[in-house]
Amino acid sequence: MKDYKRILVTAALPYANGPLHIGHLAGCYIPADIYVRYQRAQKRDIKFVGGSDEHGVPITIRAMKEGISPQDVVDKYHAIIKDSLERMDVSFDIYSRTSNKIHHQTASDFFKKLYDDGLFEEKETEQYYDEKAKTFLADRYITGTCPICGNPNAYGDQCEKCGSSLSPEQLINPRSTLSDATPVKKKTKHWYFPLQQYEPWLKQWVLEEHKDWKNNVYGQCKSWLDNGLQSRAMTRDSNWGVKVPLPNTEGKVLYVWFDAPIGYISATKELTDQWADYWCKKDTKLVHFIGKDNIVFHCIIFPAMLKAHGNFVLPDNVPANEFLNLEGDKISTSRNWAVWVDEYLEDFGGMQDSLRYVLTANAPETKDNDFTWKDFQERNNSELVAIFGNFVNRTFVLMHKLTKGKVPPFHNEIADELDKELIKSIEKSKTVVEDAIEQYKFREALFEVIDLARKGNKYLQEKEPWKKAQGNKEQGTSQSTSGQNQKLIDNCMHLALQLTANLAILINPFLPSTAKKMLHMMKVVDKMLDWENAGKLKLLSVGYSLRPPELLFRKVEDEEIKKQIDKLKGSPKETAMNASESNQQTNQAALKSTIQYDDFAKLDFRVGTITAAEKVEKADKLLKLEIDLGFEKRTVVSGIALHFKPEEIIGKQVTVVANLAPRKMRGIESNGMILMAEDAGGKLKFINPDEQTANGSTVS
């Protein structure tokens, strides 16, 4: 291993067009934070940089759907994401954003340097154009069928189903997401980065010199390199992004994947005047934490750009994780099939460590993994509460009972095999955890810590210090026996307490707020958490009095889990979209099972008119509608806010399920449901009579 003087850690820039979900956390933020906290405890020179990626097409799409400006979109989601990361204790040294001026300047300079060095190919090509919407269509605006897996909703740049990177030309039956029109080709000029020129170098650098990279990362790179690289356009037709710094390029911006990784450099500049030490000195260890969908950008394209530029260091490692699924299905923002971090923190206040724990214990380090609420409950209750929390709590309760709330002495002369075995385990754990973290095996490292706590429980169970105390109280116990018993109790409690101190050090990178609580209970300062203290047995001084125990973790109850599962299953778009996904070949929703006429007759459909509509606070997808049914007015909450602006739909006639049981959504009672048609692309349309019809008319 090379001898590095400083470490620079980056975590993928989350895209500021939606809140953060647990897949993001498991993919890179939690692993990166564990690594960084560990290195800080090692007293190494390390910087942890990140920020929101605020350019690119999905943001303009969202802005259009919500009827606001792209800047409004990124302002809103940047704030939500930043807050979620902070409350999850992800300890960035700086969390910046790519709409900052310093970033526009840095990205622009980077592009200009490559341009001045004559590295770009200038090409006029035919690009897809939407004649209805009168605009060039960026890759993301085009959907169609994936030529590789047949997913009917693949994007022009990537298929989210199979992870293949695509170009719009490869899509079968392409269509515009703006107007649903079939796009046509039109001429436009762009600047291409000739990746193929870097292929021999990349083969040497990745395939020969980085055999140490994780198998999933190395494998994906190899497959890219084996397939051969091609020039890639580094500019796009759009008005949102970093403007192309060349004359006569109005309406053209840098490709988001050109500017986003440069965001790491901009953020470091913003953080410190010494930024060049971290980016330009060869003895810097640069580590990119990302999810698997970003591998090609961080292992091939960005390194080739850095190499072409010439002034910057290249990554030492890119420990990408695979995907985290949710309850057996792919996490999907558009289908609202996700556990949103801001909502989790609301429902499970103060339990960020439980989520950090489960997402690490179940991290998709080598393959896709599944998050289930049942597993969350199980791991929280039977590992955090029953093993780790239980050991620390028992130790503190016993210490207050048996050794007057003080750290008792250790009597070496009577140390037995169990004591020696525990001492060995404590000393060994340090190396095991350390080696695993250095190799980015965070699950393995965490299991070692939990295993050490388990050994502590077993030790207490075998020693039974409470029985020896009982013995001392019984009549007729001689003074020497009583003294001997107290010494045995002392040894047991002394070791259990030193183990507790060790557990605080070892758990700190993973569960920082738990480590903090433990420090408070032990009345020691942060410095005790320095990694060099791990494996030591004299962390707490003999005679030192400690505080009463605090609850480190609480049990998660069945009702809480049920509530979460109901929330997930109740997400309005879920049912329809699930069906359409299982019918990819035909692109049609599956037919539901047959019902009898009587079942149908139970439904009371009525024609109504929307008389008022407004957004529901803190709910992106919901509109609160007032509907005139003729015989009465109803409030209906409907999940259509991403599709329609409130002012657009006032006066529209709709079909209402009028006898649906009332349901509370975000504190508003919804009385009924409006019928919508949804096409394969997820577009919603109202179902209404084709002529104006009296409100209250029945539909059957």
Binding footprint of Zn ion, residue count (CB under 5 A): 7
Considering the complex, state which of residue 148 and residue 276 has its C-beta at the smaller distance from Zn ion.
148
Per-residue interface string for the shown chain with Zn ion, residues 352-391, x marking contact by CB under 5 A = ----------------------------------------
Antiparallel, parallel or unpaired: β 154-155 and 142-145: antiparallel
Considering the complex, state which of residue 146 and residue 676 has its C-beta at the smaller distance from Zn ion.
146
Give me the least distance between CB of 156 and Zn ion, in Å please.
12
Helix boundaries (H) for 42-143: 57-66, 70-87, 101-116
Residue 660 CA to residue 697 CA, distance in Å, equals: 17
Considering the complex, state which of residue 148 and residue 345 has its C-beta at the smaller distance from Zn ion.
148
DSSP 484: H
Question: In this structure, what token pair is assigned to residue 143?
Answer: 């959907």
| Beta bridge partners of residue 127, listed in sequence order | 186
Q: Note whether 646 and 614 are within 8 A (CB).
A: yes
Give me the least distance between CB of 420 and Zn ion, in Å please.
58
Q: Which stretch binds Zn ion (CB under 5 A): 162-170, 440-448, 529-537, 570-578?
A: 162-170
Give me the least distance between CB of 326 and Zn ion, in Å please.
20
Amino acid at 257: W
Q: What share of the chain is helix, strand, coil (3-state, %, to 5)?
A: 45, 20, 35
Question: Which residues fall within 8 angstroms of residue 227, CB to CB, at 6 or more apart?
Answer: none
Give me the least distance between CB of 164 and Zn ion, in Å please.
5
Give me the least distance between CB of 301 and Zn ion, in Å please.
20
Question: In this structure, what token pair is assigned to residue 601?
Answer: 């007759």
Give me the least distance between CB of 219 and Zn ion, in Å please.
18
Residue 320 CA to residue 658 CA, distance in Å, equals: 50
Question: In this structure, what token pair is assigned to residue 258?
Answer: 């050109």
Beta strand extents in 352-405 (DSSP E only): 369-371
Nearest Cα to 107, choosing from 333, 285, 325, 302? 302
Give me the least distance between CB of 384 and Zn ion, in Å please.
38
Considering the complex, state which of residue 146 and residue 649 has its C-beta at the smaller distance from Zn ion.
146
Tell the burial category of 245 from Cβ atoms under 10 Å away from its Cβ (0-12, 13-18, 19+).
middle
Give me the least distance between CB of 147 and Zn ion, in Å please.
8
> How many residues are present in the chain?
700
Considering the complex, state which of residue 114 and residue 154 has its C-beta at the smaller distance from Zn ion.
154
Element of type H or E holding 1: none
Give me the least distance between CB of 149 and Zn ion, in Å please.
3
Question: In this structure, what token pair is assigned to residue 578?
Answer: 């699930």
Q: How far apart are the first and last CA of the chain?
A: 74
The upper half-sphere exposure of residue 152, i.e. CA atoms within 13 Å in the direction of its Cβ, equals 15
The upper half-sphere exposure of residue 462, i.e. CA atoms within 13 Å in the direction of its Cβ, equals 13
| Beta bridge partners of residue 168, listed in sequence order | none
Residue 300 CA to residue 191 CA, distance in Å, equals: 18
Instruction: Give residues 571-630 in contact with Zn ion (rule: CB under 5 A).
Output: none
Give me the least distance between CB of 2 and Zn ion, in Å please.
38
Give me the least distance between CB of 23 and Zn ion, in Å please.
18
Tell the burial category of 448 from Cβ atoms under 10 Å away from its Cβ (0-12, 13-18, 19+).
buried
DSSP reduced 3-state for 182: coil
Per-residue interface string for the shown chain with Zn ion, residues 93-132, x marking contact by CB under 5 A = ----------------------------------------
Give me the least distance between CB of 339 and Zn ion, in Å please.
25
Give me the least distance between CB of 151 and Zn ion, in Å please.
5
Give me the least distance between CB of 150 and Zn ion, in Å please.
7
Question: In this structure, what token pair is assigned to residue 408?
Answer: 């008792």
Beta strand extents in 278-319 (DSSP E only): 284-289
Nearest Cα to 50, choosing from 256, 242, 268, 241? 268
Instruction: Give residues 432-461 in contact with Zn ion (rule: CB under 5 A).
Output: none
Considering the complex, state which of residue 162 and residue 415 has its C-beta at the smaller distance from Zn ion.
162
| Beta bridge partners of residue 285, listed in sequence order | 7
Considering the complex, state which of residue 177 and residue 653 has its C-beta at the smaller distance from Zn ion.
177
- The 10 Å CB-count burial string (b at 16+, else e) for 574-612 is beebbebbeebeebebeeeeeeeeeeeeeeebbbbbbee
Considering the complex, state which of residue 54 and residue 157 has its C-beta at the smaller distance from Zn ion.
157
Give me the least distance between CB of 519 and Zn ion, in Å please.
49
Residue 7 CA to residue 47 CA, distance in Å, equals: 6
Considering the complex, state which of residue 642 and residue 680 has its C-beta at the smaller distance from Zn ion.
680
Nearest Cα to 557, choosing from 380, 332, 430? 380
Considering the complex, state which of residue 88 and residue 159 has its C-beta at the smaller distance from Zn ion.
159
Considering the complex, state which of residue 163 and residue 682 has its C-beta at the smaller distance from Zn ion.
163
Question: In this structure, what token pair is assigned to residue 240?
Answer: 């949102």
Instruction: Give residues 132-161 in contact with Zn ion (rule: CB under 5 A).
Output: 146, 148-149, 151, 159, 161
Considering the complex, state which of residue 200 and residue 681 has its C-beta at the smaller distance from Zn ion.
681
* Contact between 162 and Zn ion per CB under 5 A: yes
Residue with tokens 């009702």: 559
Considering the complex, state which of residue 154 and residue 453 has its C-beta at the smaller distance from Zn ion.
154
Amino acid at 62: R
Residue 341 CA to residue 24 CA, distance in Å, equals: 9
Element of type H or E holding 458: helix 442-463
- Sign of the CA dihedral 483, 484, 485, 487? positive
Considering the complex, state which of residue 164 and residue 533 has its C-beta at the smaller distance from Zn ion.
164
Considering the complex, state which of residue 133 and residue 148 has its C-beta at the smaller distance from Zn ion.
148
Give me the least distance between CB of 202 and Zn ion, in Å please.
25
Considering the complex, state which of residue 159 and residue 437 has its C-beta at the smaller distance from Zn ion.
159
Give me the least distance between CB of 328 and Zn ion, in Å please.
19
Considering the complex, state which of residue 159 and residue 295 has its C-beta at the smaller distance from Zn ion.
159
Which residues sit at the interface with Zn ion, rule CB under 5 A?
146, 148-149, 151, 159, 161-162
